[in-house]
Structure formats: structure tokens, C-alpha cells
A = this chain, B = another copy of it.
Amino acid sequence: MSANAWLAQLHENGYRITKARGAVVETVEKSTHALTPVEVYDIARKKYRALGLVTVYRTLEKLEELHLIQRVHQPMGCQAFISAGHGHQHLLLCKNCGQVAFFEGDDVDALTKVVAKKTGYLITEHWFQLFGLCAKCRAK
């Protein structure tokens, strides 16, 4: 998905396409690292100087609402966002450089059933996330 596709999504949902949103979308869409609002602000302002931090917050809010981005939870904090994967995917994060990779194909059904029986819970969702070192950081 390109930045333009994201803007089209916004437009289709009744939101207007503006320079501010263009800068934010361009910044977030292409990043392979999870970015905090302030980080987005710093990068996007190089594309559109007049951008305000508040607009970054508002735009991220809308992108999350449209499932174009997702919040990334980490031990050091949970304020960062990254372009959302397609379908059912999970994250793999490099603890050294912050690089984010997606993966799919987890099969947690068997475990889920066992836990459901043991606890009496009805299980509806799961969060699964891996941490480690990316190939580049590993080589160092």
C-alpha cells in the first residue's frame, strides 16, 4: 500500500486530503520502525514545515481508526505506531535498532482450547509478539 492509497482511504471515509495529512501519511507509511507522535512530527515537518504536533495526534487517531496503522507495545513504552499488516499478522521487533518485521502463520488454536477448558474463559482474541535481534544487528 502506498501513501496515496492511504490518502484515498481517508477520502473515501469522508476525510479531506490536506498537506498536513500528506506529510504524516508519507512519514508513517514508509517507516520500518514504530514512530511516536513526536518522532512523526519531527520527520514530517521536513516535508511540511507548518505542521503542528496536534495535527499529528489527530491524524494518527484517524489512521488507527481506519486500521492503516497500529499501536506497538514495548517494554520501554507503548506510544509508538507502525503501518498495520494485512490480515492476521504479528510483530517481531529488534531490541537493538527497533526494526519491525511482520509474520503470520501462528496457530494458537490448540493452546487456546486447552486454556479455555482449564480456566472456563471464552477466549476471543490474542496478542502475540516476538522480540530479538534483526540480521543486521546480529552481525555486529
Residue of B nearest to A95 (CB): B124
Q: Does A125 contact B (CB under 8 A)?
A: yes
Q: How far is the CA of A103 from the CA of B116 in the complex (A)?
A: 10
In the assembled complex, how far is the CB of residue A31 from the closest CB belonging to chain B, in whole angstroms? Answer: 18
A120 to B, closest residue via Cβ: B135
In the complex, per-residue mask of A36-70: 1 if CB is within 8 Å of any chain B CB, else 0? 00000000000000000000000000000000000
**Does A101 make an interface contact (CB < 8 A)?**
yes
B123 & A130 in contact (Cβ 8 Å cutoff): yes
- Chain A 108-139, CB within 8 Å of chain B: the 1/0 string? 10011011101111111111111111110010
Number of copies: 2
Chain B residues lying within 8 Å of A95, measured Cβ to Cβ, are 124-125
Check A134–B120 contact: CB distance below 8 A: yes
Inter-subunit contact A129/B130 (CB<8 Å): no
Q: Mark A83-108, 1 if CB is under 8 A from B, else 0.
A: 00000000010110000010101111
Contact A127/B128 with A92-B115, A101-B119, A106-B111 known, Cβ cut-off 8 Å: yes
CB-contact partner of A130 in B78, B101, B126, under 8 A: B126
- Interface residue A73 (Cβ < 8 Å from any Cβ of B): yes
Q: Do A121 and B106 touch across chains, with their CB atoms under 8 A apart? A: no
Task: Report the separation of the CA atoms of residues A128 and B122 in the bound assembly, to the nearest whole angstrom.
Answer: 17
